Chain A
Amino acid sequence: MLQSKSFVRKTKQGKVVKVVREHYLRDDIYCGATFCKVCDVSGARLTPDASNIIVVDTNVVLHQIDLLENPAIDYVVVLSVVLDEVKNKNISVYNRLRAICSNSLRKFFVFSNEYHKDTYVKALAGETPNDRNDRAIRVAAQWYQNHLGSSSCVLLITNDRENKRKAIDEGISAETVESYVKSLGKPELLDLVVQPQSGDVNMEEVEDLRPSKRKVIYIEHKPMSEITSGLLRGILHQGKLRVNRYNPFEAYVGSESIGDEIVIYGRSNMNRAFDGDIVAVEILPREQWQEEKSLAIAEEEDEEEDVHLAPSSADDAPRVIDAKQGSEGNTVPARPSGRVVGVIKRNWHSYCGSLDPMPMPAGNAGVAHALFVSKDRRIPKIRIQTRQLGNLLDKRIIVSVDSWDCVSRYPSGHYVRTIGEIGDKETETEVVLIENDIDARPFTSQVLACLPPLPWSVSSEDLANPIRQDLRHLRVFSVDPPGCKDIDDALHCTALPNGNFEVGVHIADVTNFVYPGTPLDDEASQRGTSVYLVDRRIDMLPKPLTEDICSLRNEVERLAFSVIWEMTPEADIISTRFTKSVIKSSAALSYVEAQARMDDSRLMDPVTADLRNMNTLAKIMRHRRIDRGALTLASAEVKFQIDTETHDPLDIGMYQIREANQMVEEFMLAANISVGEQILKHFPLCSLLRRHPSPTKEMLEPLLRTAAAIGIDLDVTSSKTLADSLDQAVGDDPYFNKLIRILTTRCMTQAVYFCSGDLTPPEFHHYGLAAALYTHFTSPIRRYADVIVHRLLAASLGINKLPDIFQDGTRLTSIADNLNYRHRNAQMASRASVELHTLIYFKKRPTDTEARIVKIRSNGFIVFVPKYGIEGPVYLTTRADKGGEWIVDEHQQKVKKTDGSVSYSVLQTVKIHMEVVEPQPNRPKLQLTVI
């Protein structure tokens, strides 16, 4: 037990106090070579078949992590001194390195050199920590060579010349990354090697090749000390840079110090900052605020807009540039604009995309410079060097950013890996998943081990459990989209003798199977939500749970968590109770079936009668909700019919919403609200709720402008007045009202999850539903928020203890943030998947259809195609002769020919032709032209 070794004290100088720490050195740390005669080999990773055993230094890990992740690199000893340094400098690289080390397929071994009695080095007087660590690495490399003897060759990899020279002096073999990779004889690996920073030989060659690029393009970043003092004195402002998804030349920095968003226009003002970077910003003088704007528009038109899926909320939609305000010149700009003067923390990671098409260069030893274009438009083009250009041009690839200095227009990076061919459905789907950070890997065996054994059925213990009520006698049924396998909700409605109704909402009892803190729970919490793509579904929970054990299928007994109300025929709730239950569904209906049953007056069976009763109640509830000011918003959801063989889309069309959908939705809303009230009452500080912030004037501005142009007055003072004026906005055609609603919807931001302890009750408000509070309870199979809410509800009823996590406010907030992030990504991914399938669909089917103009541009307009739910630009002129014979009337939102023969105004119906074109090889896109 008591195993203290000879030890030395390591003294660290703190600010004022002297900190003394013990540092135990040991003799029971092993080398990790399976062929070692003296060491314990139980955890050994390094097999004798290696030609070299590699020791890497810190900078190699920090800069060449993509190379290390490649399976071609193996037999690597990772020293604990390197791990510590990497951890301090870049936590994400550290996590990636740790992931390689723990991967049993790789031969990476962590050697705790800092605790080994022979490899610990004490800092010498006057030695910098860097030098000391470099020496520690050399000492460890030397120890390995002596320890393993002639049986293998230990090679130190370092790009630091001084370190390499010292190593060779001390008799250790050492090489640079590049020369080592070259010696492996795999040229494709060389693309992964990050080129050394400028000043090195290699870079000079590049500069010589492009003398025109020598001039300084960006302003030098300020040194950190100046930034810190600038922030302190309030001259500079710190915040996270967010680039407009639809206009990469515009970005925002939310600054706490001035309490407003600072707008950054143009790449030169963004000064090499990436989306997500923490930056320091300097506010531009007021008179430059306008000027910068017009400049940004000119720049913007260089980049062509693509046809995309119509946005469903403000989060998807492009922010409007107020060109009009500028031209009128009398309005005071609302927001300050600024310029980035330094990057405090980089958010660089790897990006998915493809190379800019270019001709194959002649000569130059096969090394080519190419520009990489990310799928994510917020990311600038990235310059990479490659030896396999011909191979990469038609591929989707992943590229990492390494550096961006002020003399180059684009950042430089390196190739990481190939995903597949551009346009191939599998490849593009993987791109969608990678881009949205969605984990589509199969569940690990640890996760699957948490599942109950199959076949599962309700046991006698479940029935005997006093917390669980036996509701199998109730006539419960479910209504879902056709073919739904993960049924997480079911309903019942029984007429009571007193004339009232007992209405129940039964939700799959997922938390009965997913216990807090298990690998299954951790995985679900990370995934946050199931992701629905057009041709596949990425589950949050493993299939046996979602499609069998938890799914409330008909004619089988299932566990549920029930909300049961007693309602008057006027749909007033008299009482509410919550209970865990056992139910047996008597029918699993689709929306269409349910609707048909209700409509068919000949049917008099009990389920149909229940449906009709519920529908009557739901209509009253819905009416009441709308009276309160809930918005009936509309979005353009499309549905594909997929070929079962090829998985190609056969047909697309708008998703039709029936009364039956609205009926189910109404009861789900009611259940969510009842549960929200219950959990908030018991846990005012740690409930997970969902809120929908009221839209600001600014967000509604484009809607109001459009409405004004066609003579409609929208009152946006509250959701109630807006709802009323939306009801009155009836045009000459039936679709007009829906179109206005669609335009309204996209002005709103999305609802978000939050922890009740973080906000005050007035902020809990859900604008869209006009509800004081709201949460998610009804879909625990596919949303993790609902799992949390189930646990809260169970705890409020005294069924379970509240898991520890709920006592930790910051953890809870970070869970809510993750859920919002995952939710958002899941939506982006399904939209991207729909866009992908739309493109595939129209490839073989050029189509003529009707579209509505939603926005006027100087050289054309943006149309919305209701039938396919897409939106895109229609150009009236070629890009070469801008404007020309067309004049834009901003005020009336019209564009007309100079001779007055043709004019287009906003919301007008136009006939357009849709066709997939390939302006550049392998870059198909959908083109809209007016006919």
Chain B
Amino acid sequence: MEYVTPEGFRLDGRRPMEMRQLRAEIGVVSRADGSAVFEMGNTKVIAAVYGPREVKNRSEQLNDQALVRCEYSMANFSTGDRRRKHKGDRRSTEISLVIRQTMEACILTHLMPRSQIDIFVQVLQADGGTRSACINAATLALADAGIPMSDLVTSCSAGYLNNTPLLDLNYVEDSAGGPDVTVGILPKLDKVTLLQMDAKLPMNILENVMQLATEGCKAVANYIREVLLNNTKQLEFRRGV
């Protein structure tokens, strides 16, 4: 199968180094302390954050830092076949854990001892790169909730098909069976907090693909900053400052 034409176009008309269109909206769930919808092309994810609040289950309470919990799920209508998605399956448990660990790394948990932060992420529409979209949505929701963080976390994936590194795989490219590298970074600190791949790739190529994914993360970070800035400006405007 040809995923990149000799003219350098991917199936959806992008060039190998291009990302899908990004779109984000803050404050979509009014009851939550912070919330956001994040879209990468046709992948659409909603995140809601509650907290910091009192720990519900006293036995889990941590005395020196906040407890971060994360629940990931996929809406039944998120894929073409509209199957009922089980909540506690292996895949969603794994992704919940990945998101929790990634977010925990940037939340300043020691500032909020004996409290709990809940992150709920749901995939509304899946078209590849859901993992990255979830992390990006969670970052925005956390920022919206005003939770102190050392930096934003942004994520993007990249793959390798037809001997070409490709940024931000969509579903068709993702199901080609090639390697899919998901990277999460702290853009300001320039640190990698997440790196996942479930295939084999020669070392030198992995470096290129990872580099590309990191570039993608930086682009996402720029976009997220812009969104946050606009949001802040609106808040200022509403308050009449």
Contact = CB atoms under 8 A, between A and B. Distances in A.
B13 A2 contact: no
A332 interface: no
A24 B80 contact: no
Interface in B126-145: 127
A112 B5 contact: yes
A114 B13 contact: yes
A25 B9 CA distance: 11
A304 interface: no
B240 to A, nearest CB: 33
Given A1-B19, A18-B80, A102-B6, A25 B215 contact: no
Contacts of B198: none
A4 interface: yes
Contacts of A265: none
Query: Which among B9, B22, B215, B216 has the greatest number of chain A C-beta atoms within 10 A?
Result: B9
Contact of A22 (B20, B22, B215): B20
Nearest to A87: B2
B12 A24 contact: yes
B62 interface: no
Contacts of A3: 15, 18
Interface in B196-235: 200, 202, 215-216, 219, 223
B7 interface: yes
A18 B81 CA distance: 8
Interface string A98-115: 100110000000101011
Interface string B11-33: 11111011111100000000000
A539 B65 CA distance: 72
A804 interface: yes
Contacts of B13: 7, 22-26, 114-115
Contacts of B14: 24
Contacts of A110: 5-7
A95 to B, nearest CB: 11
A110 B7 CA distance: 7
B41 interface: yes
B61 interface: no
B170 interface: yes
B208 to A, nearest CB: 16
B172 A21 contact: yes
A264 to B, nearest CB: 35
Nearest to B219: A1
A730 interface: no
B42 interface: yes
Interface string A1-30: 111100100000010111111111110000
Interface string B159-192: 0000000000010100000000000000000000
Given A2-B223, A3-B18, A17-B81, A804 B6 contact: no
Contacts of B12: 21-24
A804 B9 contact: no
Contacts of B81: 16-17
B19 A2 contact: yes
A804 B200 CA distance: 9
Interface residues of B, number: 29
B116 to A, nearest CB: 36
Contacts of B202: 804
Interface size class of A (residues with CB under 8 A): 20 to 34
A878 B21 CA distance: 82
A115 B9 contact: yes
B215 A1 contact: yes
A142 B19 CA distance: 31
A101 B6 contact: yes
A102 B127 CA distance: 33
A494 interface: no
Most chain-B Cβ atoms within 10 A of its Cβ — which of A7, A25, A87?
Answer: A7
A403 interface: no
A19 B172 CA distance: 11
Contacts of B20: 4, 22
Contact of A112 (B7, B21, B200, B216): B7
A80 interface: yes
A80 B6 contact: no
Contacts of A24: 12-14, 18, 21
Nearest to A101: B6
A607 B59 CA distance: 87
Contacts of B127: 20, 22
A50 B20 CA distance: 39
Given A1-B215, A25-B13, A114-B13, A7 B21 contact: yes
Contact of A80 (B7, B21, B41, B219): B7
A17 B200 contact: no
A14 B170 CA distance: 18
Contacts of A21: 11-12, 42, 170, 172
Interface in B69-108: 80-81
B233 to A, nearest CB: 21
A506 B185 CA distance: 54
Contacts of B9: 80, 112, 115
A23 B14 CA distance: 8
A705 B28 CA distance: 89
Contacts of B200: 804
Contacts of A18: 80
Interface string A69-112: 00000000000100100010000000000100110000000101
Interface string A794-806: 0000000000100
Contacts of B22: 2, 4
A819 B81 CA distance: 43
B6 A4 contact: no
Contact of B80 (A2, A17, A115): A17
A456 to B, nearest CB: 26
A433 B181 CA distance: 46
Contacts of A87: 2
A728 to B, nearest CB: 58
Nearest to B218: A1
A644 to B, nearest CB: 46
Nearest to A83: B5
B62 to A, nearest CB: 39
A87 B11 CA distance: 14
Contacts of B19: 1-2, 4
Nearest to A804: B200
Contacts of B215: 1
Given A22-B170, A25-B13, A4 B80 contact: no
Of B7, B22, B81, the most chain A CB neighbours within 10 A belong to B7
B226 to A, nearest CB: 11
A1 B6 contact: no
A572 B156 CA distance: 63
Nearest to A84: B5
A23 B11 CA distance: 8
Contacts of A112: 5, 7, 9
A80 B223 contact: no
A101 B5 CA distance: 12
A4 B167 CA distance: 13
A7 B20 CA distance: 11
Interface string B38-55: 000110000000000000
Contacts of A23: 12-13
A3 B223 CA distance: 12
B25 to A, nearest CB: 17
Given A21-B42, A25-B13, A804-B202, 4 more contacts: A1-B17, A22-B41, A83-B5, A112-B5
> Closest 8 CB pairs between A and B?
A17-B80, A4-B21, A24-B13, A115-B13, A1-B219, A22-B12, A22-B41, A112-B7
Interface of B: 2, 5-7, 9, 11-15, 17-22, 41-42, 80-81, 127, 170, 172, 200, 202, 215-216, 219, 223
10 contacts: A2-B21, A21-B42, A22-B21, A23-B12, A24-B13, A24-B18, A24-B21, A80-B5, A87-B2, A98-B6
Interface of A: 1-4, 7, 14, 16-26, 80, 83, 87, 98, 101-102, 110, 112, 114-115, 804
